[in-house]
Amino acid sequence: MPRIHFKTTDRYYEFPDGDEVNILRVSIRADCGLPWKCASGNCGTDRMVIEQGAENLDPPRRRERERLGDLLDQGYRLACQTYARGDVTVAWDPDQVGLDEESRAGQRLKAKWLGAADGD
């Protein structure tokens, strides 16, 4: 059975041959400790370095490419956006937070509220 090794917490998740699993989903299911926030490729909180098995992952799609930029070339992926179909080892900084100090979501909300206040 293929196995995902969550190296930072030293946890494992095994899944049946032929299945493809979302890495963040199985981390949540099996309590493997990957940090996350938005689950939609926005915040980057769940970025992880692929230490082994990058060939067993599906290719990054638009949101992940845009969010990670150069980090993709350095071996990073976003767990919420990534599916695995074979053995993989991933690691992360346990203290990591989102990629933007002020997230795009925060900027959007601020613009909305300030815009409303201006209009009053």
Residues lying near ligand FES in the complex (CB under 6 A): 36-39, 41-46, 78, 80
Q: Which of ligand FES, other proteins, none sits in contact with 104, Cβ below 5 to 8 A by type? A: other proteins
Our finding on whether 41 is near other proteins (CB under 8 A) is yes
Q: In three state form, how does the secondary structure of 16-79 look?
A: CCCCCEEHHHHHHHCCCCCCCCCCCCCCCCCEEEEEECHHHECCCCHHHHHHHHHHHCCCEEEH
Q: Which of other proteins, ligand FES, none sits in contact with 45, Cβ below 5 to 8 A by type? A: ligand FES
Half-sphere exposure of 84 (CA within 13 A, CB side): 29
Question: Nearest distance from residue 42's CB to other proteins, in Å?
Answer: 6
Would you say 38 or 91 has its CB closer to ligand FES?
A: 38
